[in-house]
Structure 1
Amino acid sequence: MQTLKVKIVAACIASLPMLAMAHPGHESAHSGFMAGFIHPFTGLDHLMMAIALGVLFSKFAKQWKITGVIAFILTLAFGFVLGMQGIFATMVEYGIVASLIVLAVALCVRHQMLLAISAIGLTMFHGVAHGFELAHSGNAVYVASGMIVAMALIYFGGLGLGEVIRRYVPYGDKMVAACAAVVALINLA
């Protein structure tokens, strides 16, 4: 009976990445700006990470709100360019996982600079993944532009949510930290 429980738990854990619905709809992702814009709203990984980064940055430092958006956009665009050139394409998944691990450590030790570095790494490697996928598409610039605009909007939503939580929810800071840890674990899975 114990072995059956272990097998059920292992099967559930193994299916977690499928539940993220990380990248559905890529078959139409090569059609232009709107396809790129819609893509982040169709993947749970995009939504969770952009909202979580916005919430985290609203919690840790006021100066990161605007500079965070600028860094987020530039890093994602830089990642797209690297991916289209095939740079880091073979190690993109390792880069994403390493960034998530560093992000989790930064949250545990409350280290703001480490948090910023891991968020930038995570954003860049995600851009590399999509840039590599779109490298041979004639509309790669339009799709990338749509994704960048959508991710920035989701990030702004996370900033707003973080402010509401910090100001109006009792123990909001602790809830944000706990939610961020859960998000990091889900995306790591």
Structure 2
Amino acid sequence: MKIKATSLLACPVLMTPAVALAHTGVLADHTHTGFAAGLLHPLTGADHLAAMLAVGVWSALAVRPVWLAPLAFVGMLLAGALAAQAGLVLPGVEPMIAASLLVLGLLVAMRARLPRAAAVGLCGLFAFFHGAAHGAELGDGAAAWSALAGMVVATAALHASGIGLGRWVLARRQWLARFSGAAVALLGAALLLRLV
């Protein structure tokens, strides 16, 4: 009975609607200062929430060792945020974030296994763009560092939650993994179409 209830709860989490996007329009429209703001930021946008969970779910289903892709994502998210803080302006941040959802959703839906280097490279590439979006929203000074620490902690926690979902729910319910992955991919496709 517990597995069925957990399965039902996993669907809405992985199919979060695109009503609370973290980035609409210009990236620097709002800033995040302080640990709590940084901690909450990945949880308040469907794009980031779905991507972070999808990395964890995909890792549980198809990446070995399971921590490899999430670690690459967290490391490159931090690198992207620091690069944006240093003044690097990347073109195509929003399309890459949307593409990350499309690709990660398809990887979950298909339980696709990639070579380690490809899994790390793909997650790292997407994470750098997610990090650049985060870094562009940080304020200055100690509050910015605190916010960045909060974002890194929240990202790692979301990956761990995704791994938990993947191991204990989606691995036992193949249809749910496909459905959830397809929902994330559809969110990514909708975001890409919105940008056109």
Both structures adopt the same fold (TM-score exceeding 0.5): yes
Q: Given the superposition, is the C-alpha separation of residues 141 and 49 from structure 1 closer, same or farther in structure 2, using an over 3 Å criterion?
A: same
The reply to whether residue 78 of structure 1 matches residue 82 of structure 2 is no
Greater per-residue helix proportion:
1
Displacement of 1:150 in angstroms is 0.8
Unmatched runs of 5 consecutive residues or more in structure 2: 1-16, 191-196
What secondary structure sits across from 1:89 in the alignment? coil
Unmatched runs of 5 consecutive residues or more in structure 1: 1-15
1:12-91 to structure 2, matched below 5 A, reads: 17=18, 19-22=19-22, 27=30, 29-30=32-33, 32-63=34-65, 65-91=66-92
Q: What's 1:5 paired with?
A: none
Q: Given the superposition, is the C-alpha separation of residues 164 and 106 from structure 1 closer, same or farther in structure 2, using an over 3 Å criterion?
A: closer
Mapped to 1, the partners of 2:179 and 2:31 lie a distance apart of 36
Displacement of 1:27 in angstroms is 4.8
Displacement of 1:122 in angstroms is 1.8
Normalising by structure 1, report the TM-score.
0.73
1:168-183 to structure 2, matched below 5 A, reads: 169=172, 172-183=173-184
Normalising by structure 2, report the TM-score.
0.71
Larger-Rg structure: 1
Displacement of 1:104 in angstroms is 5.5
Mapped to 1, the partners of 2:85 and 2:31 lie a distance apart of 18
One-letter amino acid matched to 1:87: L
Q: What's 1:155 paired with?
A: 159
One-letter amino acid matched to 2:147: V
Q: Given the superposition, is the C-alpha separation of residues 173 and 109 from structure 1 closer, same or farther in structure 2, using an over 3 Å criterion?
A: closer
Displacement of 1:181 in angstroms is 2.3
Q: How many residue pairs get matched?
A: 166
Mapped to 2, the partners of 1:98 and 1:49 lie a distance apart of 10
Q: Percent identity?
A: 33
Mapped to 1, the partners of 2:51 and 2:62 lie a distance apart of 16
The reply to whether residue 145 of structure 1 matches residue 149 of structure 2 is yes
What secondary structure sits across from 1:83 in the alignment? helix
One-letter amino acid matched to 1:49: A
The CA RMSD over aligned residues, in Å, is 2.8
